[in-house]
Structure 1
Amino acid sequence: MTNLDVSHNLVLRLAITVINRRGNAVQVVVIGAGVVGLASAWYLARQGLQVTLVDRHADVAQETSFANGGQLSYSYVAPLADPGVISKLPQWLLRADSPLRFRPRLDPAQWRWCMAFLRSCNDAQVRRTIGEMLSLSFLSRDALDELLGEHALDFDLIRTGKLVVYRDPGALAAAAPMVDWQRSLGADQRILDGAGCVALEPALQAIGGQLAGGIFTPGEATGDCLRFCQGLKALLAQLPNVHLVLGREVKALVHERNRVVAVRTDHGDLPADAVVMAAGMFSVPLLKPLGISLPLYGLRGYSLSVPLDAAMQAPRLSVTDAARKVVYAPLNQHLRIAAMVDMGVARADIDPARITLLKQQVLETFPHLELTNAKAWAGLRPSTAHSKPIVGRAGNFSNLWLNVGQGALGFTLALGSARLLAAQVMNEAPPIDPAPFQLR
């Protein structure tokens, strides 16, 4: 099918606008213009609904989607909660150079999340979660291919493959059984020795002697999430049934019994037949007055965007340093480096000490990188304790929907989550089993 055919079919579909019981077009308000909210608006609009996308910022992707890790990691969706994490927690919590930093607070939500996290750190739960997450990530991968077949979005997409490198032979050996199991679920992964890692990614030469080996997944990719969001915004702006309301802060949801009837903003109310909450951590206070407690916690992460030139020896593959939890994503003229988890902070402020540490770790791995002009960024990843997003109806509210909790995999899971959500909103057969992603 050509792009012209696709556009023609879309016009025909939009002409058959969904009508509510009052005889008016169904109005859906999507709250949040990050990558998840934009994707939700796209698939709902494609269903013929009248979609209003609202965000407090004047442009899209100004929060967690702005400068994230840049990896489209469809086969690498292992949850943060893992049995191996428990033995590492004491040293992580006590060391200044730990990839995980925990600040205890007098916050019941923090401790509830921590207890749920520890309960999820068992083999049976991890295997179940990975299987469920792979179904969603593979849906996202197929959705991206379909989207790019219809529209020429330019967001520095590079199908690099992903190489996870290990310094510790024991850690690599512990990862091997999971590789075999994920391969049985359709994830193409292979184990390399240290020399094989350097042969595949020559920029690792400086630490070649330290490497026990690595895991290579050829189907992975990298891309600039901000540019992807800007491309989706441009597509949405062309649709006659989409209204972009940017620079307007949502204050509350107006509800009558078990229905939301409007979204209250600082510039008046937006009438709604249905509402989709896709505002990351900002979803939590908006839903609390409705008696809905979202099991989300903000995990602050950091990134560096490093300008590249032809002479700089930078990785050409997507690389993850397993021990230090640092990811490297090539983005044409830039290298995106993301790392670290700060738990117990409520804001996305940049901690200079963490950036200094990150730069030190980067140069120990890739000493030829020039970090003088690197741009630092921090964002709050909206995470569930089991790492699965929440996609589905919100409690007893008949017309309130959730698409939140993608955590560090927001870019990877956005399109699949949005497709799953749109099917539920339209009461259509879902593309995958929605049960694992429901609010409990």
Structure 2
Amino acid sequence: MKVTILGAGVIGVTSAYYLAKAGHQVTVIDRQSGPALETSFANAGEVSFGYCSPWAAPGIPRKALKWLFMEHAPLVLRPKVDYAMLSWMVRMLLNCTSERYAINKSRMLRLADYSRVSLAELRAETSIAYDERMQGTLQLFRTQAQLDASAKDVKALAADGIPYDVLDREGCIRMEPALRHVSDKIVGGLLTPKDETGDCFKFTNALAAKCASMGVAFDYGRQIKGLVVEAGQAKGVVTDTGTVLLSDAVVVALGSYSPLLLKPFGIKLPVYPVKGYSLTIPITDASRAPESTVMDETYKIAITRLGDRIRVGGMAEISGYTNDLGPARRKTLEHSVSDLFPGGDLKAANYWSGLRPMTPDGTPVIGATNIRNLFLNTGHGTLGWTMSTGSARVLTDVVGGRKADIDVSDLSLSRYGR
């Protein structure tokens, strides 16, 4: 089958790998000059199979009100006259119940654990390197209230058989020795030992090179203008050159921009951009740098070791399709990392932002649409790399008409109804 994938981020490239492996003829189109140059470029560096939770959670509405008045707030809201923003926010608030949180988290953990197994297999098959480490994620609590509130996550992890360990202050220091310098600032943590870290940009580029060796064609620097749909069936893609690329199947993996492409065809995809920021900092003192990923629960910021660099990423800014680099967000990243791990050169840091494609319930949208031969693999939010390999395998099974290894009945767009 001839398959065209729209988007060369980590989701599009992993989709290309598994589709090519299954024997399909694959072409990937992207407006950038190479792979992983947008949201996948400088993410937090986490591959969080265990630390995998929906943003919509009990207590979030109350916390959000408090965050509005914090100097270093994990959530920033810039409201505007935008029906898509309002609709997405209302749907997200409706998911902030204990019942919905449990359902959504379990669904996300199922896909994430499948991705954990798939990534290990892919790494063995390809031998690609990307500053990877397999030392887990430490969710770090600065207050007893945060530690107590982690009970709901522990319950979900236990229910799905995901390994975890609740640590006291000394246990956190054993996992991350640099924390001994700031031991008075922490009370404990939640360790998910199967989590990994690495450079998503390096990973995606290495995998794209492997895909090319398998016959995948990459068409860079081409703007996607629309789809060719005839008699309820996707036939191909129109680009800025006016060329119609005919396909047997089209996969939309355009992240936050997926809804804009689909809207003219009556497909209402509840994905909205939630902006995240990162700093990439050269390490000057390894004894004061993290060994793996530490999630600073107070500021919702991940601090990750990437070789000789520290990647600091996080925050959620709801401001539409804007990609400016506000100085206030940089100060928050700098505050979190310098407070815990002052082992890098902040003056030499690279500052970046990207638009995460978020669904209201936290789970990506993977599968068929009501237009024949048109498939989706998008809406992964902050967990695109974490869920990429499992999502790509699910997509490949759906495109090929095969039964997937996991339950995929609640992953498609149909879960949102008509």
- Which of the five TM-score ranges fits, normalised by the shorter chain? over 0.9
- Match 1:106 to one of 61, 74, 81: 81
| Alignment correspondent of 1:96 | 71
Matched, 1:67 2:67: no
Instruction: Figure out how many residues of one structure are paired with residues of the other and give that number.
Output: 413
1:185-226, Cα deviation, whole Å (9 max, x unpaired): 111111111222123212112331121211111111101000
Q: CA deviation at 1:287?
A: 0.8
Segments of 5+ residues of structure 2 without an aligned counterpart are none
- Match 1:387 to one of 350, 356, 362: 362
| Alignment correspondent of 1:287 | 262
Mapped contact 2:303–2:313 kept (Cα < 8 A): yes
Matched, 1:371 2:325: no
1:16-68, Cα deviation, whole Å (9 max, x unpaired): xxxxxxxxxx2110000000000111111111111111001110001000000
Distance 1:101 1:178 in 2: 24
1:10-25 to 2 correspondences below 5 Å: none
| Alignment correspondent of 1:424 | 398
Q: CA deviation at 1:310?
A: 5.6
Mapped contact 1:312–1:369 kept (Cα < 8 A): no
Matched, 1:269 2:244: yes
| Alignment correspondent of 2:372 | 398
Distance 2:58 2:278 in 1: 27
TM-score by length of 2: 0.96
Matched, 1:411 2:378: no
Matched, 1:256 2:230: yes
Distance 2:155 2:261 in 1: 43
Distance 1:211 1:195 in 2: 10
Where 2:150 maps in the other structure, the secondary structure is helix
Matched, 1:176 2:151: yes
Distance 2:183 2:136 in 1: 19
Matched, 1:300 2:275: yes
| Overall identity of the aligned pairs, in % | 38
Where 1:436 maps in the other structure, the secondary structure is coil
Distance 1:28 1:200 in 2: 45
Where 1:315 maps in the other structure, the secondary structure is coil
- Match 1:244 to one of 206, 218, 239: 218
Max radius of gyration: which structure?
A: 1
Q: CA deviation at 1:398?
A: 1.0
Provide the aligned C-alpha RMSD in A. Answer: 1.3
| Alignment correspondent of 1:19 | none
1:12-161 to 2 correspondences below 5 Å: 26-161=1-136
Q: CA deviation at 1:248?
A: 0.9
Mapped contact 2:140–2:296 kept (Cα < 8 A): yes
Where 1:397 maps in the other structure, the secondary structure is coil
Where 1:61 maps in the other structure, the secondary structure is coil
Q: CA deviation at 1:356?
A: 2.2
TM-score by length of 1: 0.91
Q: CA deviation at 1:177?
A: 4.1
Q: CA deviation at 1:346?
A: 1.5
Mapped contact 1:176–1:191 kept (Cα < 8 A): no
Report the AA paired with residue 166 of structure 1.
F
Distance 2:65 2:235 in 1: 48
Q: Which runs of 4+ in 1 moved over 6 A?
A: none
Segments of 5+ residues of structure 1 without an aligned counterpart are 1-25
Distance 2:286 2:153 in 1: 38
Distance 1:166 1:346 in 2: 32
Q: CA deviation at 1:312?
A: 5.4
